[in-house]
Chain A
Amino acid sequence: MISRMDISLSINSRPYELDVDVRKSLMDVLRELGYTSVKHGCGVGECGACTVLVDDVAVDSCLYLAVWAKGRNVRTVEGECRDGKLSAVQEAYVEEGAVQCGFCTPGLIMSSTSFIEKNSGTRPSREEIAKGHAGNLCRCTGYQTIINAVENAIKK
């Protein structure tokens, strides 16, 4: 039985050569590498706190084996702030008061980033934004300011 595998991938455009335990989720491996913005909220794909983008597609990294990321680019919220400048989505979350405890925030920002990139050039309704974020649970905000933030980021 294969228990480990060598993989190469990039995380926030930085190349990595890794020898990974095949049982490990992408979430576990990212956290071990120091990408602790990727949060463990449930481990079974219910809460979305571990959302990252794999080749720009939002996934629950707790359900995604690390070995599946071989040859792909993984984006986490650490990579969205470049040269000290927040991304449009991050900035919108700050401006709209969309952050309270902050534990769901990195996953939600990645979901918003993916949603906005997918819908680029369109003006989705608040209902469509809500639907696009239904995989991320937040217990602090009631989602109101998160939807506000996505609307704000789209306008940026």
Chain B
Amino acid sequence: MAVGQSHIRKDVRAKVTGKTRYTDDFSMPGMLQAKYVRSPVAHALVKSIDTSAALAISGVEAVFTHADVPKNVYPTAGHPFSLDPDHQDVADRLLLTDHVRFHGDEVAIVVARDLLTAAKAAQLVKVEYEELPVCVNSAAAMAEGAPAIHDGGNIIKSTSFETGGTFSDAEKKAVTVVEGSFSTPIILHCHLENHTAYAYMDDNDHLVIVSSTQIPHICRRIVGQALDMPWPKIRVIKPYIGGGFGNKQDVVLEPMVAFLTTKLGGLPVKLELEREEGLVATRTRHSQTVTVRAGVSRDGTLKFLDLNVISNTGAYASHGHSIPMAAGSKSCNLYPKAVTRFSATTHYANIPAAGAMRAYGSPQLFFGLESVIEEVAREIGMDSVDFRIKNSARAGDILAKTGDLKHSVAMIECLEKGRELISWDSRKKQYADQQGPLLRGLGVASFSYGSGTYPACVEIAGCRLVLNQDGTIHMQIGATEIGQGSDTALAQMAAETLGVEYQAIHVVSEQDTDVTPFDPGAYASRQTYVTAPAVQQAAEKLKKRILGHCQLMTGEDPGNLDLQLGKIIQRGSPEKVVVDLTELALDSYYHKERGGQITAEVSAKTCTNAPSYGCTFVDLEVDVEMCTVSIHEIINVHDAGKIIHPLSAEGQVHGGMAMGIGMALFEELLVDPESGWIFNGNLLDYKIPTSVDIPELKSAFVDTFDPTSPYGNKSLGEPPAISQGPAIRNAIWDATGVKINEIPMTPKVLFKHFKDAGLI
């Protein structure tokens, strides 16, 4: 069985020996280097630009300003194209702007023969600004008379929905109602590889882009929109990428490098962002204010949830309003028997543009939701795990997104498993009456997520299989490997269905839009779920063709044959080898009369969206006097359906947990509310966790089999990062009696709250 085993990752030997090539590891003779001129202020109009001093430097090829770029406004969000104009992403970008909207916005670009010259020349571009009033936070951006950051004002969209019944009826049935308001900061992705891309032309009207992107096919379309070029005239190649976490689910550098090469006679032009540029001038995680009301009936049944999100998307819309709306709809999978009313408003502000980041709005929403769930349980005197178990989704519940399909649902089993693993009941008793400055606390928080974007977006995936001369298989998929291990998981699936050894599958890891089967890319925790049907169908097809060729060779009826571990055998009698796949492969290629190259290709759409579930349990100690938190034990328990590759699954959970802990305790991009100036846009001052900041990470799984996937699997890439914030917050409350309704819960923040509560 290939599926369910921790096979050696397809890319791992290349990675540990330094052989994997990332975008920056390729170069071309004569490659030019580009460098942006960035705004030193957060909101301004460009009055004039003097490029003469920059152009006078030897080695400078060109300087472009807003006056030189096409006037096509384009969207950047990595969503598949929508046939419904109302569902298309907000188009609000030009390649360069004369209306600066955040500290670091792009007003000009220099192209030179080397990077040092480009950087020097960029400093010599003289820009005169007329400064405008700045609005950084939601209150300022949405205030009456706030300066308009884009034509049409600062509010992008305000929408709402109700699901699960009639809200007003449910509200009447609740006897206890709890409300809270929660805030989350701007968070940065901090993938280790910066954004980098280059482009060149290989014909008068055809250009090639090599980029560190999660979404090559979407990138091709958006470059086409930005430059007003037919999409097939653009070829996007994605080599190995050094992490993305959603920041490369946006089209950031590609339209610019494409523009530059078209302006410079097709010469190769490269843009590689410095770390400091990459942190502020790509995308961020939205800072949000989440307000939650929850009502329960006398018997502890959750009757309603009333959720409101104000989402600050910064200078440009990017994924914009999709972020709170996606999180809102996925959250309805958790307590489906309650009536949910969800509303969200997304607005512009003079801060870096926010986009997609791992779990896409859910960590913010669940910080509020699972904090209030904790409060309502305590309010009615119920253990909060028991309360969650009573109200969580069960198999057969009608889910808002996908109706009453028979998905696997093991939320309750996750809670039960976590409760046991952390010895919840005994430790609760142990921590009941504590004194002194060191206080232990227990916390829990659940989450629900989806396994793709359907029905909001199309879900399409492709797989091509080719039988090689030696009986091995080349596999091309549109799904992009970004470190999460999709190449490996999909190869396991192909091997399983085809009946060959895992080692016999060679995955062509690179995506190239000229040749790779169509797939929009890595996001929404979708790839193993939505690619599974394409892989399975392609493998079935290839197998049928292999057995068909066997019939040509041997005259055996394919109905009596099977392929097992690389050998064609008599069905039911694995010891009776009819022909070895190696021999068959050579015959198919080189026999002068019969057969041909054996291939199979499938493009498949997925019209289901399996819910995935899980929770975080944490045991921590608060040092009240020092205002610090140390985690003693933290466990994530997941229902991700069938686990395809246990070692990689654990790895996904560890990485998500570390990101969630970073968000809960350490990370925040600081922006001056008056000027929009960014204080800590570098890795020294923006603190992601190092190896000494992360406790032992424990993961556990409740194995289920989701019937909507041929291999039973559901999402696992993004969900592990959702529930650490509220679990830690609930544990701090448990330890100290103080509710911290904001993250990050740094010593500075804890000091303020502990002081207000009279603890210090």
Q: Taking chain A's interface residues, is the majority helix, strand, or loop, or is none over half, making it mixed?
A: loop
8 Å CB contact of A97 from B9, B19, B194? B9
| Interface size, B (range) | 35 or more
A103 near B243 with CB under 8 A, answer yes
B648 near A97 with CB under 8 A, answer yes
A131 near B692 with CB under 8 A, answer yes
Within A72-107, the residues touching B (CB, 8 Å) are: 76-78, 80-81, 86, 90, 93-94, 96-97, 99-106
8 Å CB contact of B275 from A42, A93, A100, A136? A42
- Can you list, as one digit per residue, whether each of B237-257 has a CB less than 8 Å from chain A (1) or not (0)? 000111101000000000000
Q: CA A37 – CA B24 in complex, angstroms?
A: 11
A139 near B659 with CB under 8 A, answer yes
Shortest Cβ distance from residue A126 to the other chain B in the assembled complex, whole angstroms: 8
A36 near B275 with CB under 8 A, answer no
Cβ contacts under 8 Å, A126 to chain B = 696
A41 near B192 with CB under 8 A, answer yes
8 Å CB contact of B651 from A36, A81, A97? A97
Shortest Cβ distance from residue B9 to the other chain A in the assembled complex, whole angstroms: 7
Interface locus among B92-100, B422-430, B603-611, B683-691: B683-691
Cβ contacts under 8 Å, A133 to chain B = 691
Within A106-141, the residues touching B (CB, 8 Å) are: 106, 109, 126-127, 129-131, 133-141
8 Å CB contact of A140 from B12, B17, B116, B483? B483
B12 near A99 with CB under 8 A, answer yes
Cβ contacts under 8 Å, A76 to chain B = 18
A94 near B190 with CB under 8 A, answer no
Cβ contacts under 8 Å, A103 to chain B = 22, 191-193, 242-243, 483
A39 touching B192 in the complex, CB below 8 Å, given contacts A102-B20, A140-B243, A143-B694: yes
Q: CA A134 – CA B19 in complex, angstroms?
A: 25
Cβ contacts under 8 Å, A46 to chain B = 275, 682-684
A86 near B243 with CB under 8 A, answer no
Q: CA A85 – CA B20 in complex, angstroms?
A: 17
Shortest Cβ distance from residue A39 to the other chain B in the assembled complex, whole angstroms: 7
A137 near B651 with CB under 8 A, answer no
Cβ contacts under 8 Å, A81 to chain B = 16-17
Q: Does A49 contact B (CB under 8 A)?
A: yes
Shortest Cβ distance from residue A33 to the other chain B in the assembled complex, whole angstroms: 12
A104 touching B697 in the complex, CB below 8 Å, given contacts A42-B683, A134-B691, A147-B691: no
Q: CA A40 – CA B270 in complex, angstroms?
A: 15
B9 near A101 with CB under 8 A, answer no
Q: CA A126 – CA B695 in complex, angstroms?
A: 11
Q: Does A5 contact B (CB under 8 A)?
A: no
Question: Nearest residue in A to B645 (C-beta to C-beta)?
Answer: A97
Shortest Cβ distance from residue B282 to the other chain A in the assembled complex, whole angstroms: 14
Q: Does B6 contact A (CB under 8 A)?
A: yes
B17 near A90 with CB under 8 A, answer yes
Identify 11 new A-B residue pairs, CB closer than 8 A, beyond the known A102-B14, A104-B192.
A44-B275, A76-B18, A86-B17, A90-B17, A101-B193, A102-B12, A102-B20, A137-B190, A139-B189, A139-B655, A145-B651
Q: B residues within 8 Å of A by Cβ?
A: 6, 8-9, 11-22, 24-25, 116, 189-194, 240-243, 245, 272, 274-275, 482-485, 647-648, 650-651, 654-659, 682-684, 688-692, 694, 696-697
Q: A residues within 8 Å of B by Cβ?
A: 23, 31, 35-37, 39-44, 46-47, 49, 76-78, 80-81, 86, 90, 93-94, 96-97, 99-106, 109, 126-127, 129-131, 133-147
